[in-house]
Amino acid sequence: MTDRVFPASKPPTATNGAPPGGALPPPPSVNGNGTANQKPQVYIPANRPVYRPQPYSRHHHHQTRPSCRRVCCCCCFWSILILLILALLTSIAATAVYVIYHPRPPLFSVPSLRVGRVNLTTSSDASVSHLSSFFNFTLISVNPNQHLTFSYDHFAVAVKTVKSNEMLANGTVSGFFSGNGNKTSFRSVIATSTSARELDPDEARRLKSDLTRGARVGLEIEMRTKVKMQMGKLKSEGVEIKVTCGGFEGTVPKGKVPTVATSKQTKCKSDLSVKVWKWSL
Higher pLDDT residue, 107 or 265?
Answer: 107
pLDDT, tens only, 1-18: 555 555 555 555 555 555
DSSP SS3 for 147: coil
Q: Please, are residues 227 and 253 in contact by the beta-carbon 8 Å criterion?
A: no
Higher pLDDT residue, 99 or 229?
Answer: 229
| Residue type at position 271 | D
- The DSSP element (H or E) to which 78 belongs, if any, is helix 68-101
DSSP SS3 for 109: strand
| Residue type at position 257 | V
**Confidence band for 219, pLDDT divided at 50, 70 and 90:** very high
Beta strand ranges found along the chain (DSSP E): 107-109, 113-122, 129-142, 149-152, 155-161, 167-173, 177-178, 183-199, 217-231, 234-236, 239-250, 259-263, 269-272, 279-280
- What is the residue extent of each domain of the chain? 69-101, 107-280
pTM: 0.64
